[in-house]
Amino acid sequence: SHDSFSFYIDEASPVGPEQPETVQNFVSVFGTVAKKLMRKWLATQTMNFTSQLGAGIRYFDLRISTKPRDPDNELYFAHGLFSAKVKEGLEEINAFLADHPKEVVFLDFNHFYGMQKYHHEKLVQMLKDTYGNKMCPAIFAHEVSLQYLWEKEHQVLVFYHSPVALEVPFLWPGQMMPAPWANTTDPEKLIQFLQASITERRKKGSFFISQVVLTPKASTVVKGVASGLRETITER
């Protein structure tokens, strides 16, 4: 699932540090109303973690952020606004894995906002504490079969798009999970892009994501500002 933990986006949270100055200014002027409108465009899921897993989702697209002036120095899932605490999300996934020992999930940590070295160290430790030996060490992608994972009792593959991955055996480097992005609102262009990327996929010797998602442009948001992502793009 795309922006996997955006179901939990908190309208009371501050705006994420990755947002441009125009968005920051918009929220500072219009406050809560602006955040309610933002949530309609930023929440790409209608299900929580457990429901997504129950529906068959096994790949999670994760963006992690620190929160400005947060005294607890917590890590949060984020997509424009802040979502659930990372620790809570990881534990929820682990509860599902404990109940389903032959299921395997892919956790793709592909964006980090406002994170220093010690934040990465905190996240790595959190992964260790939560999943322990459930995590599969980085090997060649073609060696990873369900049979291999079952034999080793591994249930989690963690992809980490940061140089930190090179220092930790259970982190798979980000280039092992490429995710080319069509960045279009046009379904026909999206299909052409996906078909072309299949050819590239065969050359890589890695895992690969086909992003079957339409992405709103600024003009799309302006036209449908009160409607939101689902009504403006998904249902169409």
The per-residue pLDDT for range 82-103, each reduced to its tens digit, is 999 999 999 999 999 999 999 9
Angle at 92 between CA 128 and CA 69, to 5 degrees: 75
Q: Which of 10-24, 44-58, 166-180 has the lowest mean pLDDT?
A: 10-24
Q: For the packed helices 117-131 and 86-99, what is the interaxial angle rounded to 10 degrees?
A: 20
pLDDT in tens, 112-123: 999 999 999 999
Q: What is the pTM for the complete model shown?
A: 0.91
If DSSP states are collapsed to H, E and C, what string results for the chain?
A: CCCCCHHHCCCCCCECCCCCHHHHHHHHHHHHHHHHHHHHHHCCCCCCHHHHHHCCCCEEEEEEEECCCCCCCCEEEEECEEEEEHHHHHHHHHHHHHHCCCCCEEEEEEEEECCCHHHHHHHHHHHHHHHHHHECCCCCHHHCCHHHHHHHCCCEEEEECCHHHHHCCCEEEHHHCCCCCCCCCCHHHHHHHHHHHHHHHHHHCCCCCCCCCCCCCHHHHHHCCCCCHHHHHHCC
Catalytic member of 79, 120, 154, 161 = 79
Per-residue pLDDT averaged across 216-235, rounded?
84
Distances (CA, A) of 166 to 87, 119, 236: 23, 16, 43
Active site residue 79: yes
- What are the residue boundaries of the structural domains of the chain, listed by start? 1-175, 178-235
At 188 the pLDDT is 96
Residue 222: the pLDDT is 78
In contact, 88 and 5? CB cutoff 8 Å: no
Greatest CA span in the chain, whole angstroms?
Answer: 57
Per-residue pLDDT at 12 exceeds 80: no
Decide if 100 is catalytic: no
